[in-house]
Chain A
């Protein structure tokens, strides 16, 4: 039998911390916006609490992004890596063909 304190649910990766920092929000600001306790934001960011679908959708709505941009079952590729990969592709396609 699983003890109540054991974590049994799978880890859900998220980009909440990045998005919050990017927009200059404190945990309290985000908590107020989403209607949760500020500590809940900390647990969400650390991946120690998986949000309900309703809270996930509320967060996505707040950031104006699709929910899969915030939460994923697989680890996210770092945003910087994605950005530079995109930039490299653009540069290569701009080069004149020999």
Chain B
């Protein structure tokens, strides 16, 4: 027998429409890597430091704020083994993990393909400096734990209107 969560515990975040949740999920996942991409681009331009700082702060803020909202929405529903989840929620959790695997596989395959094309196809030398490795490590370290939560927030359908 599984639990039933109290209806009165539902907050505004719990009732976020799927469309908004999807926007938040994408913004959260794109924010931090976006900041690194923007910073790398900024180094090649003459844009003032103030603009760089503000935009970087906005992108990092998107990841931080988005993570809080997604964690608040999903709570412990994305975790394993999922004690206290009913069968529908366990099923959704499993779907979210499948989606995570698909996303990660796609990212790894695309990343490797790009490097392979650059190195083997165009004879380019790809170098990794400390900054690049740090950026990738931090993005992966931050985004991997968020991915199952974002995936669950993405696939969870809107609740029935009168529920």
Partner-B contacts on A (CB < 8 A): 3-5, 27-28, 31-32, 35-43, 45-46, 48-49, 51-52, 54-55
Q: CB-nearest residue of chain A relative to B94?
A: A4
Main secondary structure of the interface of A (DSSP, over half): helix
List chain B residues, Cβ under 8 A from A46. 160
Query: Chain B: interface residue count, which band?
Result: 20 to 34
Given A4-B99, A37-B5; 16 other pairs, CB 8 A cutoff: A3-B99, A4-B95, A4-B96, A4-B102, A35-B4, A36-B4, A36-B86, A37-B3, A37-B86, A38-B163, A39-B160, A40-B86, A40-B87, A42-B163, A43-B159, A51-B87
B88 to chain A, nearest CB (A): 4
Partner-A contacts on B (CB < 8 A): 1-5, 7, 86-89, 91, 95-96, 98-99, 102, 154-155, 157, 159-160, 162-163
List chain B residues, Cβ under 8 A from A32. 4
